[in-house]
A = this chain, B = another copy of it.
């Protein structure tokens, strides 16, 4: 075991604060990683504050957008060596034998993936602890290789926010020239705009806020559609090939559904919440509503390689660890462009 400085919470009402956790020595297939950057995901707030149906386990060290360098490898590790730039995302293991795992879709593991934090560790016991921490030890098969040419701190959010958009964009097979809508311009939405634009789609940022138009175009959107303007919405009716809905709260899908062409799909990636759907809006054009969560290991690696080739990263605001609680409050007001990333060097200084 290695004593490791971390930031975490002791209960659902406690602030995020310094703590010390144990990290295991690497087993045969493990790599030990010295963490450099850790993104803050909206789900960190939900879990730290126990807002997801009472499933939070304390003490908790959040963080599942992790970038660092390999410091040590187990005897049988073949994929990585000391010094490699690597990442860890939302899960650190899965059953490896169900249909989903066999299809490289570990995020849908039928026995349940093992979350990077806020979970019981089925193999080693105790709780899993995430990336608000100096180091982490992970099986090499659940570690990603990060292209060295990218801005490391801005890579961190790719491990969750990035793959959450990349996976549906690939699964629903976005092609050059297709009209792709992204609803909501935040941590998820800004990655959707970047990926769809990089694939040659005609990207339309769909937002309630006219003030976001300039930013959206800067990120790669060809057009901005103000969803509160009925005339504009009517002009775009039945014209989209795919809509990626990143709104993170319960909401009405019907205005967006009506933007889809026949046989096309709206993918909910933000709301693990009730959403409103009207049967007639589906039936009239055989439209579909789907959901999607993150991506598998192979697809996450594909995304990182794609980012390396196309120089795509997140837009981030780098913070020190002692700013996490303030960052949470600002996120709840959507006051971040577009993702906070913790400079993990600051953790050691604070503990």
Name A's B-contacting residues (CB within 8 A). 99-100, 105, 108, 110, 171, 238, 262, 265, 268-293
In the complex, A287→B291 CA distance in Å? Answer: 6
Residue of B nearest to A283 (CB): B291
Tell me the complex Cα distance, A277–B274, Å.
6
A289 to nearest B CB, angstroms? 5
Which residues from chain B contact A278 at a C-beta distance below 8 Å?
A: 272-275
For residue A114, give the distance in angstroms from its CB to the closest CB of chain B: 16
Q: Given known contacts A100-B262, A288-B290, what 6 new A-B pairs fall within 8 Å (CB)?
A: A171-B286, A268-B282, A268-B283, A276-B277, A277-B289, A282-B289
CB pairs A–B below 8 angstroms (18 shown):
A99-B262, A100-B262, A105-B262, A108-B286, A265-B288, A268-B283, A272-B283, A274-B277, A274-B279, A275-B278, A277-B277, A281-B291, A282-B291, A286-B290, A286-B292, A286-B293, A287-B290, A288-B290
CA distance A278 to B277 in the complex (A): 10
A293–B290 CA distance with the chains assembled, in angstroms: 19
Which of A108, A110, A278, A282 has most B Cβ within 10 Å? Answer: A282
Closest residue of chain B to A290 (Cβ to Cβ) is B288
Provide the residues of chain B in CB contact with A277, threshold 8 Å.
274-277, 289
Q: Is the CB of A275 within 8 A of B268?
A: no
Tell me the complex Cα distance, A265–B278, Å.
Answer: 16
Measured CB to CB, the nearest residue on chain B to A167 is B286
Contact B283 A269 (CB under 8 A): yes
**Taking CB as reference atom, which chain B residue is nearest A268?**
B279
- Enumerate chain B residues within 8 angstroms of A282, measured Cβ to Cβ: 268, 289-291
CA gap between A158 and B133 in the complex, in Å: 64
CB distance from A220 to the nearest CB of B (A): 25
Q: Which of B108, B280, B291 lies in contact with A272, CB distance below 8 A?
A: B280
Q: Which residues of B contact A285 (CB under 8 A)?
A: 108
A286 adjacent to B291 (CB under 8 Å): yes
Distance from A176 Cβ to chain B, minimum over Cβ atoms (Å): 20
